Amino acid sequence: RLAFATRLKSVATMAASQEFTGNLKREVEKLFDTSLRITVPDGTSVETEVAASLPGKPGDYQCNNAMGLWSVIKGKGTQFRGPPAVGQAISKNLPASEMVETCSVAGPGFVNLVLSSKWMAKSIEKMLIDGIDTWAPTLPVKRAVVDFSSPNIAKEMHVGHLRSTIIGDTLARMLEYSKVEVLRRNHVGDWGTQFGMLIEYLFEKFPDTESVTETAIGDLQTFYKKSKTKFDEDTDFKEKAQKAVVRLQGGDPIYRKAWAKICEISRTEFAKVYQRLKVELEEKGESFYNPYIANVIGELDSKGLVEESEGARVIFLEGFNIPLMVVKSDGGFNYASTDLTALWYRLNEEKAEWIVYVTDVGQQQHFNMFFKAARKAGWLPESDKTYPRVDHVGFGLVLGDDGKRFRTRSSDVVRLVDLLDEAKTRSKTALIERGKDKEWTPEELDRTAEAVGYGAVKYADLKNNRLTNYTFNFDQMLSDKGNTAVYLLYAHARICSIIRKSGKDIDELKKTEKLALDHPEERALGLHLLRFAETVEEACSNLLPNVLCHYLYDLSERYTSFYSVHQVIGSPEEASRLLLCEATAVVMRKCFHLLGITPVYKI
């Protein structure tokens, strides 16, 4: 009782000084929470249900609790005569707040809240001065691991890895914005039996391993293929390769050195892609966990989880028709043993509270199984939404125009660098067609082509729900119409150019002028701006970047609706409207930043 009363009090104090903390929905929830507890004290177990009103419906937010509360008090001698009356009381008991313009009841008790345009304007003004980081959501975790990209040494870094890189980077950026310390981890596949044949092949081709360079090896993928062919065809070589694995795993320094060389060459190739995409991550490959594996598997064993099965050591898990193998019949460790160890390390050594793995949905079973094993071992809580928490962020396939797995004409796996090159070339051509080569310096042209081209590739991937397959189509993603990065980047550049053309010093305006949201289109745009943080929070909690893309596209649509009916430069409302333009540009830029897209200021 006492705890409840204190909570009421603290909520009420918060409501009185309506400082906008960033999450608009949560602010509204707090108000209704207070009102609900006053209206029906018996209904404290009922959760406050607030949702943004659908477009065209009355109000900005709606509280849907009247019916639920009614069912709690009905037949218990209540003074209310039905849900609409409960709704009326919820509306009446809403604590006084400068946030609220009006509150009214519709139909069977829906309570519609209209926000005060003045308060909205004030909150946006404040953000313009204090910066958009003051809107950053707060998540219930301090440190997270995002395990993404994670290509395999010497094997091709395919489009699937591109998806993982793009999605993982965005998730990391959104979490970082939300004040979470993110350990960006590249779980590179740098260990395994394939290294036997790679090393033997390297010894054969380059007896002086020391001096081997990336250029000498050329394409590491081809190198891999050739060594594989030899492995399949030449029994002598095969035997040597198998022995090489044993020596490597036994720690033989010469084999270790050769292995390190191969990894290093691969690494420089990967680094080029990361650099182009402006993605930062730290490599802690599978081999990093080698020194810990035996202990970790030993711990699982001592907990009675590990059993013998056909010579291998496995963990049986309810709900799966195959057991999880943790030690192979030859005594070696595998992908699952490494992942269990990495999880142990991340929880215990790195003290991460949320670990997120970004791979294609094809690996879902692997993740579900070792997550389950970790729960069985007591490393993780039973409930999957409780922290420390693990999530597998799966994604679908990238398809070509023929609806099949995306490939190039030569039907080889698509090389990432080629894709990025083509995106850049195409966007450069489009810019030249618009005559930009005459207006801009070659550097400007190049930089813009890169921002637009790479941005287009990223956005085309991120805008879809990650679980669905999507079709890779240059023409579509580079179109300046519709929901594309090009359209959005151009929209942002146009806003910047309006501000420039006004000749006003926007930083000065922020300090001296007021923002007003008097017209419906201005208000709708302002409201959408204020929903930025709650959108990022939703995208984070559900690990869905497309939620943010959707928001960004809506934002530019709302801006267009505003701009197409209201004059900015030269109107009596010029100063206020320039501030609204600036706020839109600030939020758009933050969205671009979170999506890993470089904004363009001039078009």
Which residues lie near ligand ARG (CB under 6 A)? Answer: 147, 150-152, 187, 189, 339, 342, 357, 359
Taking the complex as a whole, the smallest distance from the CB of residue 342 to ligand ARG amounts, in Å, to: 6
69 or 146: CB nearest ligand ARG = 146
Residue owning tokens 């300046």: 480
Residues facing 398 on adjacent strands: 470
30 or 284: CB nearest ligand ARG = 284
3-class SS of residue 111 = strand
Taking the complex as a whole, the smallest distance from the CB of residue 300 to ligand ARG amounts, in Å, to: 17
Instruction: Read off the tokens for 144.
Output: 């997270």
Taking the complex as a whole, the smallest distance from the CB of residue 573 to ligand ARG amounts, in Å, to: 53
Q: What is the DSSP letter of 470?
A: E
420-452 CB burial, b ≥16 within 10 A, e <16: bebbbebbbebbeeeebeeeeeeeebeebbbbb
Cα dihedral sign, 460-465-470-476? negative
147 or 450: CB nearest ligand ARG = 147
Which of 337, 156, 331 minimizes the C-alpha distance to 245? 331
Taking the complex as a whole, the smallest distance from the CB of residue 388 to ligand ARG amounts, in Å, to: 16
281 or 533: CB nearest ligand ARG = 281
Rounded distance, CA 333 to CA 191, Å?
10
What values do phi and psi take at 152, rounded to 5? -110, 135
210 or 282: CB nearest ligand ARG = 282
Question: How many other C-beta atoms lie within 10 A of the C-beta of residue 358?
Answer: 28
* Amino acid sitting at position 122: K
3-class SS of residue 183 = strand
190 or 200: CB nearest ligand ARG = 190
Which of 71, 87, 84 minimizes the C-alpha distance to 39? 87
Catalogue the E-assigned strands of 153-278: 181-186
Taking the complex as a whole, the smallest distance from the CB of residue 145 to ligand ARG amounts, in Å, to: 10
Rounded distance, CA 500 to CA 496, Å?
6
Taking the complex as a whole, the smallest distance from the CB of residue 170 to ligand ARG amounts, in Å, to: 17
Provide the greatest CA pair distance for the chain. Answer: 92
Taking the complex as a whole, the smallest distance from the CB of residue 359 to ligand ARG amounts, in Å, to: 5
357 or 553: CB nearest ligand ARG = 357
Which of 132, 133, 95 minimizes the C-alpha distance to 10? 95
Q: Are the C-beta atoms of 557 and 239 separated by less than 8 Å?
A: no
87 or 189: CB nearest ligand ARG = 189
Taking the complex as a whole, the smallest distance from the CB of residue 270 to ligand ARG amounts, in Å, to: 12
Taking the complex as a whole, the smallest distance from the CB of residue 466 to ligand ARG amounts, in Å, to: 15
70 or 259: CB nearest ligand ARG = 259
